[in-house]
Amino acid sequence: MADAAARRRKSYRRGHRGEWLAALALTAKGYRILARRYRTKLGEIDLIARRGDLVLMVEVKARRSLVEAMEAIGRESERRIEGAADIWLSRQPDYGRLSVRFDMVAVLPWRWPVHVENVFYGEG
For position 4, what pLDDT does the model report? 86
Residue 83, pLDDT score: 94
The confidence score (pLDDT) of residue 7 equals 85
67-95 burial string, b = 16+ CB within 10 Å, else e? eebeeebeeebbebbbbbbeebeeeeeee
The whole-number pLDDT of residue 100 equals 95
pLDDT of residue 1: 60
Q: pLDDT tens digits, residue range 25-78?
A: 999 999 999 999 999 999 899 999 999 999 999 999 999 999 999 999 989 989
- Residue 89's pLDDT is 94
Which residues share a beta bridge with 106?
61, 114
According to the model, what pLDDT value does residue 123 have?
63
The CATH code that applies to domain 2-120 is: 3.40.1350.10
Cα–Cα distance between 124 and 114 in angstroms, integer? Answer: 26
Write the pLDDT tens digit of every residue in 62-119. 999 999 999 999 899 899 999 999 999 999 999 889 999 999 999 999 999 999 999 9
